[in-house]
A and B are shown apart, each in its own frame.
Chain A
């Protein structure tokens, strides 16, 4: 299947440190999206990177994509306590308007003050 698997499963850091989360998947993709989920809440879209892109930035977020290794990383710089959440990658293999996102297992990030 096209599963995304994140690692680490859990990450605990201090405020101000950088947090890096990785995602691996199995099949070719059209795009990969990262989402944040606060405990028991909805999914917040963070960033989308297309298969022909290698790196993308948005504020304190930096996403890389290596299609040869079928992997992506999400870097959060200068982390804050408010960044505490679960982070998921989701892949889509379609090059059409409608999608079928396949989510990974997620990384639980804890940022301590």
Chain B
């Protein structure tokens, strides 16, 4: 069964450094998302992306964050200058396929655990 994949599984970085988190959504999906989950807290929406542009972003998604779909398969989240409070699990998700997937079901990747020191 197709699935969303994410790399790396764990990223450790120094405060102020740039990080890029990578995702490969399910191939026939049209909508892509990033969420994050700070340890012990709820999963929070960051951004949605469709047709090569941001559809919606949360207040968390400030100028330090950007997303890109550089080719037909990858979807990336960049944090330009990481802060301690960016430490969290970051989940990529996709939805909006055809065939076996229902239009609205959103499928998540395994996550990247980001640790900012």
Binding site for B on A (CB under 8 A): 30-31, 33, 35, 40-45, 48, 50, 88, 90, 92, 97-106
Number of A-B residue pairs with CB-CB distance less than 8 Å in the complex they form: 68
Asked whether A101 and B50 contact (CB < 8 A) given A33-B106, A42-B108, A43-B91, the answer is: no
Binding site for A on B (CB under 8 A): 30-31, 33, 35, 42-45, 48, 50, 55-56, 58, 89, 91, 93, 95-96, 102-111, 113
A-B pairs with the 10 shortest C-beta distances?
A42-B110, A43-B108, A103-B43, A98-B55, A98-B48, A98-B31, A42-B111, A103-B42, A48-B105, A100-B45
Interface SS of chain B: helix, strand, loop or mixed? strand
The answer to whether B55 and A45 have CB atoms under 8 Å apart is: no
Bound state CA distance, A35 and B56, in angstroms? 22
Given the complex, which residues of B lie within 8 Å of A92, measured CB to CB?
104
CB-nearest residue of chain A to B110: A42
The answer to whether B42 and A99 have CB atoms under 8 Å apart is: no
CB-nearest residue of chain B to A96: B55
The answer to whether A31 and B104 have CB atoms under 8 Å apart is: yes
B26 to chain A, nearest CB (A): 11
Most buried by B among A88, A101, A105: A101
A38 to chain B, nearest CB (A): 10
